[in-house]
Amino acid sequence: MNVNSDDLPSELGNKTRLRKSLRAARRMLTPEDQSKAAEDLLTRLLEVDLFTQSNRIALYLAHDGEIDPSRVIHWCQINFRHSYLPIVKQEKGRNWLMFGEVEPNSQFQKNKFGIQEPVIDQSALLDARELDLVLLPLVGFDRRGNRIGMGGGFYDTTFEFLRQSANRTPELIGVAHEIQKITSVNAESWDVPLTMVVTDQAVYRLMP
């Protein structure tokens, strides 16, 4: 099924409604659409030096219609890159992410949000500062790199140190279906900026 992002509402200050519309649009994609988008996402990323030259790369497992990076994970594994998946951490009202390396024989379990996480000893988890690159899923984005996430604040909390430092390690690349691009998103003060956004159809370079 083809979905035209021009049919989706622009940012009008109601991110809850906009988030709902964008999530519904990506869930309407057929399995064939999703498979093609996954192949094309890898193709676009292989055009990006920042991706091909990174060693420790964090990704995610697709959920709720997100663009599927499983082919990207496979590419990392056969090209001797280390690939990591987020592990949700919550303590005293604070939400953040640690990262566990995923391998072909990794075991998984669902977290409280129903998302699969690798089963890894706590001592083997990586802190966000130890990564080279993070591919994070988006609900929506605009050409300036402003983004809408799921609303839990996990990525913004985890990478808030990037807003307070000139050091851009790790670099953050948002990934999404092209249909998730909208005219405008109001940036929030706590949003951690992206280096670029990569979709199944385009690479949007946002920062030097």
pLDDT digits (tens, 9 = 90+) for 58-108: 999 999 999 999 999 999 999 999 999 999 998 877 889 999 999 999 999
| Cβ 3 vs Cβ 179: under 8 Å | yes
Strand, coil or helix: 115: coil
Question: Mind listing the pLDDT tens digit for each residue in 9-64?
Answer: 444 447 888 999 999 999 999 999 999 999 999 999 999 999 999 999 999 999 99
Question: What predicted TM-score, i.e. pTM, was given to this entire model?
Answer: 0.90
143 is catalytic: no
Phi-psi region of 145 (alpha: psi -120 to 50; beta: other; left: phi over 0): left
Residue type, 110: K
To the query of whether residue 64 is one of the catalytic residues in this protein, the response is no
Residue 156 annotated in active site: yes
| Catalytic position from the list 68, 147, 168, 200 | 147
Which residue of the set 56, 191, 200, 205 is catalytic? 191
Residue in 40, 68, 142, 156 annotated catalytic: 156
Q: Which CATH class is domain 20-205?
A: alpha beta
In the chain, where do the E strands start and end?
56-58, 82-91, 94-101, 108-110, 116-118, 133-137, 140-141, 147-148, 171-176, 196-199, 203-205
Domain layout of the chain by residue ranges: 20-205
